[in-house]
Structure 1
Amino acid sequence: MKKTQPETFTLDRLGSPVGEVLLVTDAEGAVRAFDFVDYEARMRKLLTRHYGEVVLTSGRAPETVRAAIAAYFGGDAKALDGIAVRTGGTDFQRSVWAALRTIPAGETWSYGQLASAIGKPSAVRAVGLANGANPVGVIVPCHRVVGANGTLTGYAGGLERKRWLLAHEKAGAGTEQGAFALD
């Protein structure tokens, strides 16, 4: 069996109103992972699961990506829509993650709605597992998924962050507001 070279990605660390975030990009500028610094071990585990051996080198993400993230945290809830994302995962997981990006900013869907959106209405539990394995939090907005009765359910970044992100997006949906300065 031929050993393949490890994947090498750039790791950028950015300040945000809800704590430092980790932004992982590839050589083409696509986002491979986005998570909160207090969940770095989880992020690294997901990267290894998706790509095998991964080398993260400290550096700056492309300015277009950094500017979109700054605009998002500055109040433009739609600023992340155009960011290129590239993930590993199964075909099913990638279909769930693609569907997540169709949930409008400022809105939420239940796991059942998400399962229906991918044409698998009985796969609610599998959709929940795929949602939880999303390596590109916030940009692939898994925080927009709630329980069937509208309650906030688990979020890998913590429920307080989920609550903040949803309120932030609801306030900024459909508007472009001031820029947020990244650290």
Structure 2
Amino acid sequence: MIRLLDFIFAFLGLLFGFPVLLAIYIIGLFDTGSPLFIQERVGRHKAPFKLVKFRTMKVDTASVASHLASTSSITKLGRFLRKTKLDELPQLWNVLKGEMSLVGPRPNLYNQEELIAAREKCDVYNVRPGITGLAQVNNIDMSTPELLAQTDAKMIAALSFANYFTYIIQTVSGKGSGDRVKR
């Protein structure tokens, strides 16, 4: 049933959000010349998939977890997109394709070995990764791999329709700050 909700909400979000997506894309052309950021991430059952986001960092920024990147890499538009979480909107495409869910553990990079090991111990990779979840609304990010994996496992074990909607509403209303970036 959650997959059906994901599909419906992603479809409607892309349909009705198209003007906003297009505006951000056009502004992004002037900001970095390359408004979309596509990166291979770890998906369900550790299968690779291409995550799509709006670019918030300079094009030449190293492909590392956000908490390892420098704030000087973030563009002016990127700051706004991160603060409003609008950089996440293109991931609705990943949700529509079935690679992600609206709610689930944030997909990590393949080079985050400590996080991968912690998540494997907690069986986190048995579900689709998500745009938001318990860790995100509680400001727990990939800089604390063990805590993140435990929080993801707790969310997965307790996921219900009520929690699904709660995490979405909390995210849309601004709870949680997203991934930290080095100062």
Give the alignment's TM-score, normalised by structure 2: 0.28
The structure carrying a bigger strand percent of its residues is 1
The structure carrying a bigger helix percent of its residues is 2
Give the alignment's TM-score, normalised by structure 1: 0.28
Give the structure, 1 or 2, with the largest relative contact order (CA under 8 Å, sep 6 or more).
Answer: 1
